[in-house]
Amino acid sequence: MSKGKLAKFAELKEMPNVFQNFNWHQPQLINHLGNEVDYKNQWHEQVFGNNNPIVLELGCGYGEYTVAMAQQMPNHNIIGIDIKGNRIHMGAQWLLENRVNNAIFVRTSIELLANYFGEQEISEIWLPFPDPFRRDSKSNRRLTSGYFINIYRQIMEPDGIVHLKTDSTLLYEYTLESIAENGCTLLEEHYDLYGSNPTNALLHVKTRYEKLNLSKADTIKYIKFKL
């Protein structure tokens, strides 16, 4: 492990806008003081100090969408979630340096969400460029699989909305099938997102993955659905 990562991990532990879980079998969050915290059903009061809707970015990586949503949605509380701390570090540091107070990061596994958030505590979920897990044997790890939809239902409002942005045709088609199979409601879908000239400014935000265009995709796809 590089010294750069070690330094980031050390700094991450001291950031007041970052909460971390270090043990899958003990899903307890630790704050910047090293104390265990439990904000389930209390994120509004204990962390944000308001009753604004809470939006999650799952698999947030470097936090491009978390930061963008914090800026463009000042009347919402934004939480970026990822297991890789060295990536979260960039977004968390930017929020601190720019004194943006309506967003935080949680370092944990997405499978553990129901341990940290209560029923109907989340209003929206964004999935910008999640791993498509191309092998069929790993399809249940796709973030729009029935497995994860059931997790989302445990923490989201009844009309909670999920946004998927992807360059993977496989994940795009799989998600459309999963929406139908799991009783969700398709609200919007675009095989060529940018070709449709979306009016939502958030849909024009590009993650580092998208800028690198690792899959060499011809089009970026977008799906919006309701649980």
CA dist., res. 9 & res. 140, Å (int): 30
Quickly state the pLDDT bin for 215 (edges 50, 70, 90). low
**pLDDT > 80? residue 209:** no
Annotation marks residue 159 as catalytic: no
* List of domains in the chain: 1-112 (3.40.50.150), 119-227 (3.40.50.150)
Instruction: Write down the catalytic residue from 131, 136, 192, 218.
Output: 131
Question: Of the ranges 3-17, 107-121, 161-175, which one carries the lowest mean pLDDT score?
Answer: 3-17
Mean pLDDT taken over the chain = 93
User: Rounded to an integer, what distance in angstroms lies between the CA atom of residue 21 and that of residue 215?
Assistant: 31
What is the pLDDT averaged over residues 159-173? Answer: 96
Longest dimension (CA), the chain: 48
Summarize the confidence of residues 23-46 as an average pLDDT: 94
pTM of this prediction? 0.94
Strands of the sheet containing 18-20, edge to edge, are 36-37, 29-30, 18-20, 103-107, 77-82, 54-58, 122-128, 156-166, 221-226, 185-190
Question: How would residue 217 be classed by pLDDT, with cut points 50, 70 and 90?
Answer: confident
pLDDT digits (tens, 9 = 90+) for 139-151: 999 999 999 999 9
